[in-house]
Amino acid sequence: MKRVIDILLRGVMTGFAIGIGGAVYLSCDNKYMGAFLFGTGLFVILSFGFNLFTGKVGYAVENKPSYIIDLILIWLGNLIGTAAMGGMLLCTRIAPAISEKAAQICDVKFNDDLLSIFILAIFCGMLMFIAADGYKKIENPVGKMLAVFLPVMAFILSGYEHCVANMFYFTIAKVWSANTLLYLFVMTMGNAVGGMFIPFVRKAFIQPEAG
């Protein structure tokens, strides 16, 4: 039970961190600066050892099937954290401005078809695995920072779908519904496929480099 609580709480803290990144992105008039500053959330998550679904799902390839339970707990924690962060921000003076921008973002998503959403989520999942694994394995400090911020900027500026970031946007825009849950499920599945793609190919087909 202690382990379950730890996994869940690390997921909740991740939700708050993504909310920090999402809020600053929604507050920026310059989309490039906003995309860069959104990376603050991922930097906090990786630096403090929090649990981000899109950063963890890729490791399902090398873990036992029971790891799926961990991923579910992480996803739920991310949802709780983003919803709590969004709910609190809706009680502040910045709410009208960021809520309006979030609503515009959500309109674009809900006017898209599910296949498009799924494919865009796959590419986001790939970038998030690159960020998480790059931060974990790259020793050079500059390389670590690039591994965090560049994939985030790439997925935001490309319009790819990140299920956890969208949890925050859905809350700020106040658009939760059965249809929202359907779109979120498709986004989550796409992120999972994308997150596992590189580690699967690496494990199944790529030979380790000779020492």
Check residue 206 and give its pLDDT.
80
Predicted pLDDT of residue 210: 56
pTM over 0.85: yes
Distance (Å, whole) CA 70 – CA 60: 10
66 CB contacts (<8 Å, ≥6 apart)? none
One pLDDT digit (tens) per residue for the chain, 211 residues: 899 999 999 999 999 999 999 999 999 999 999 999 999 999 999 999 999 999 999 999 999 999 999 999 999 999 999 999 999 999 999 999 999 999 999 999 999 999 999 999 999 999 999 999 999 999 999 999 999 999 999 999 999 999 999 999 999 999 999 999 999 999 999 999 999 999 999 888 886 765 5
Q: Tokens for 209?
A: 């480099």
pLDDT tens profile 113-129: 999 999 999 999 999 99
Q: Which pLDDT belongs to residue 209?
A: 66
| Residue bearing tokens 């296949």 | 115
Write out the E strands in 64-201: none
Q: Cα(69)–Cα(57) distance, rounded to whole angstroms? A: 11
Q: Is the dihedral of CA 27, 180, 54, 120 positive or negative?
A: negative
pLDDT score at 73: 98
Cβ atoms 98, 31 nearer than 8 A: no
